[in-house]
Amino acid sequence: MHQHRVVVTGIGVIAPNGIGKDAYWDALERGKSGIKRITGFDPEGLSCKIAGEVTDFNPLAYLDPKKSRRMARHTQFAVSGVRMAITDAGVDIHAIPENDGLLAFGVSTSAMDLIENQMKVLMKHGYRRIVPYGLVAATPHRVMGEILEHLAWKPRTILLTAACVSGLDAIGTAFTRIRNGEVKFAIAGGAEAAITPLTMGGLCAGGLMPEFNDHPEQASRPFDKYRCGGVLSEGCGVVTLEDRDYAMARGAHIYGEISGYGSAGDGYVEPGMHAAGLKDAILRTLDDANLSPKAIEAVAAHGPSDPLIDLVETDFLKEVFGAHAYNVPVSSIKSMVGNPFGCAGPLQLIAVMLWFAKDIVTPTINYDFPDPECDLYYVPNIAQPLRVSTVLLDCSGLGGTCSSLICKRSEL
């Protein structure tokens, strides 16, 4: 079967350290952290009082005020990110036959902000004060409905939820369908806004959040010897994907190409051991792209700053790449943006497009104390000028799923 080449032509991004492609890219290149003390609610009483909040987001810059008020925060992010990506792609989606289009989106949580707010109303005032529409707005699939209403376009759709790999799986699914010739154009990505009292409280109770409150910007430190837990964040990452021939025919700017996608289940198999879900996902992605490990020139790592997960990822990279692992720069953007759950993968992909555009690999900041067990080259603290053409992107989800992409510099 003929396989179509798939390219990235549009970018929409809302991140704790920058809104919009240019601001986000500039922050990553300069090693700017978006981690700060929580402002959306009073975090006193929590062991971790910091997060990757998007504090300068104004939904009215992208959305109708009346419609914006009925949306959950992650839905506001999603619709705004989609609008950015379409504008950046310079495409008239209404000129694309609906059967040739796809909207693929990933979310890992429901609208926790709405759910918690309405629970407070219920407990204080009774059920008659609950906003009826809130029940609909809080469902995971409502993000799709709001995007479609905003676009006034009815393409094929798919909504995925797979913890931190949700958005990456949405992009991988869109890639696969374009490559197979099912569609020509796709909008794909993920959005999250789970920085709420209940979510933070649960993560703190589980010992998953760092108690690094005095220096928030230093808290997320992937692969560093003194990493002590990931930092919850929020945001949105959206890309437009196109059949390469279709994109070239309309004169689209091409950021890069996706050439492989793989996923795998994960989980504990017995005490002291871990199932090799991430390793399996990477191997399947290499096979899907028909590449050997030696073809990979850099890795956009999952790297959440977790004492165990960072070590396991390092070990799997060494198992897959062998001695070549020590020649491959490994960078984690979570050092700067924290862990935004289901939009982590899309934000990683957008960072890789920056690598291609500017011939750099962005840094892993806060890498101050090397861990003898995490002994790869993690691009410490300062962006490295480097022209890379083939990049592995990997992502692991708490709860049993792992996924990976291979991205390539677009060449004729």
pLDDT tens digit string along 244-271? Answer: 999 999 999 999 999 999 999 876 544 4
Radius of gyration (C-alpha) of the chain in whole angstroms: 20
For residue 232, is pLDDT > 60? yes
**What is the C-alpha separation between 53 and 45, in angstroms, rounded?**
19
How far is Cα of residue 288 from the mean position of the Cα atoms in its chain?
A: 21
For residue 143, is pLDDT > 70? yes
**What is the C-alpha separation between 11 and 237, in angstroms, rounded?**
8
For 35-57, what is each residue's pLDDT tens digit? 999 999 999 999 999 999 999 99
Q: pLDDT category, 175, cuts 50, 70, 90?
A: very high
Q: Look over the chain and give the mean of its residue pLDDT values, rounded to a whole number.
A: 93
Instruction: Give the pLDDT of residue 207.
Output: 84
Joined tokens for residue 168: 């990456």
Which residues make Cβ contacts (< 8 Å) with residue 377, sequence separation at least 6?
326, 328, 329, 330
Instruction: Give the pLDDT of residue 364.
Output: 98
For 346-403, what is each residue's pLDDT tens digit? 999 999 999 999 999 999 999 999 999 999 999 999 999 999 999 999 999 876 789 9
What number of other Cβ atoms are within 10 A of residue 198's Cβ?
Answer: 13
Joined tokens for residue 56: 């300068």
The share of the chain scoring above pLDDT 70, in percent, equals: 97
- Per the listing, tokens 């009774």 go with 126
Q: pLDDT category, 134, cuts 50, 70, 90?
A: confident
DSSP structure class, residue 219:
S
For residue 288, is pLDDT > 50? yes
Q: pLDDT category, 274, cuts 50, 70, 90?
A: low
For 85-112, what is each residue's pLDDT tens digit? 999 999 999 999 999 999 999 999 888 8
Query: What is the CA angle 96-104-301, rounded to 5?
Result: 125
The CA-to-CA distance between both ends of the chain, in Å, stands at 22
What does the DSSP assignment read for 371-387?
BTTB-S---BSS-EE--
Phi, psi of 251 (to 5 degrees): 75, 30
Mean pLDDT on 206-233? 93
Instruction: Give the pLDDT of residue 275.
Output: 62
Instruction: Give the pLDDT of residue 4.
Output: 96
Query: What is the CA angle 161-274-258, rounded to 5?
Result: 45
CA distances from 81 to 246, 266, 392 (A): 23, 30, 24
Mean pLDDT on 297-321? 95
Q: Do the Cβ atoms of 20 and 13 come closer than 8 Å?
A: yes
Instruction: Give the pLDDT of residue 412.
Output: 57
Instruction: Give the pLDDT of residue 272.
Output: 46
**What is the C-alpha separation between 153 and 141, in angstroms, rounded?**
17
Domains of the chain: 6-249 (3.40.47.10), 260-408 (3.40.47.10)
Task: Out of 1-15, 114-128, 226-240, pick the least confident.
Answer: 114-128
**What is the C-alpha separation between 177 and 373, in angstroms, rounded?**
39
Between 179 and 121, residue with greater pLDDT? 179
Instruction: Give the pLDDT of residue 88.
Output: 98
Task: Out of 6-15, 63-72, 223-232, 329-338, pick the least confident.
Answer: 63-72
The share of the chain scoring above pLDDT 90, in percent, equals: 81
**What is the C-alpha separation between 219 and 329, in angstroms, rounded?**
22
Instruction: Give the pLDDT of residue 198.
Output: 92
Q: Where are the alpha helices (DSSP H) in 93-214?
A: 112-125, 132-137, 142-151, 166-179, 197-205
Of 186, 193, 255, the closest CA to residue 21 belongs to 255
